[in-house]
Amino acid sequence: MLESRQPTGTYRVALIIQYLGTNFHGWQRQKAQRTVQEEIETAIANVLGYHVTLHGAGRTDAGVHAAAQVAHFDATGFIPAHKWSTVLNSYLPPDILIRASAGVDDNWHARFSAVFRRYRYTIYTEALPNLFVNSFSWHYYYAPLDESVMQAALEPLLGKHHLAAFHRAGSARSHSWVEVQAAECHRSASFIHIEIQANGFLYGMVRLLMGMLVQVGSGQLSLEDFTDIWKEQRREKVKYAAPPQGLCLLRVGYPDFPFAQEIWYDTQPYLVFGH
């Protein structure tokens, strides 16, 4: 077991992290469960010789992916901040990749300095299953989906709202106010892609929202009823969460970010068939 013997004279390192969530029990460290945070913290400890805490921009659920999660930790020693990505990748399993690393000010925080998070949800609509998309989409073929109606349902969500209807139990957050900054839905052949950007997200919010949005797109729920449910905070009416594998933390935004845009901005490939 590594000793807790943190030396003095630290510097702060920010990481851009990609992971395939399939075999993880989410981001946050949990007892007797495989998590992304613990895997990276173990890799850092193997390099430094002591344990550190890795602070993430957000906590993804079990099975959820990340194209550009952001985290930071404090280190000592002589490894330049921009070299940490290469060093850690040699210790990490193949379902985690540190895309880049950089030094940041001591008061910069991966969670509290962030001004937005953006998620993408992918739905696969062909009747026949496809092994090559199963791990990154919700295979929904039970009824046709109208993406234009789904987009219309998203538009009233823009702005600051009390979204308790999309807040799962078990969260330590004291309120359900969310400022939704963007909400977009479009189709590419057999795939429907939905992107939601907000200043922060409630526990379970995106998957609960996607579950209801599919009900709207399939005609099971009217636009008016959908809007009334969340405006009136009728949590009991929101019964189904979309499966986790269709969800990806696409990016996190900061007013002062040391990474070039091509490193973090849009690094999850779209699932598209050529017809």
Q: Which amino acid is at 133?
A: V
Q: Please answer whether residues 69 and 119 qualify as being in contact, where contact means their C-beta atoms are separated by less than 8 angstroms.
A: no
* Catalytic option among 61, 105, 146, 228: 61
In the 8-state DSSP scheme, what is residue 125? -
The pairing of strands 177-188 and 191-198 is antiparallel
For residue 225, give every residue at least 6 positions away whose Cβ sits within 8 Å of its Cβ, in sequence order, or none: none
**CA torsion, ordered 24, 28, 29, 30, to nearest 10 deg:** -80
Q: Which amino acid is at 143?
A: A
Q: Which amino acid is at 100?
A: A
Residue 11, annotated ligand binder?
Answer: no
Q: Which amino acid is at 31?
A: K
**Phi and psi at residue 268, in whole multiples of 5°?**
-95, 115
| Residue 266 annotated among the catalytic residues of the structure | no
* Residue 100, both tokens: 């880049």
Q: In whole angstroms, what is the distance from residue 265 CA to residue 253 CA?
A: 9
Binding residues for substrate: 119
Which active-site residues does the annotation give?
A: 61
Binding residues: 119
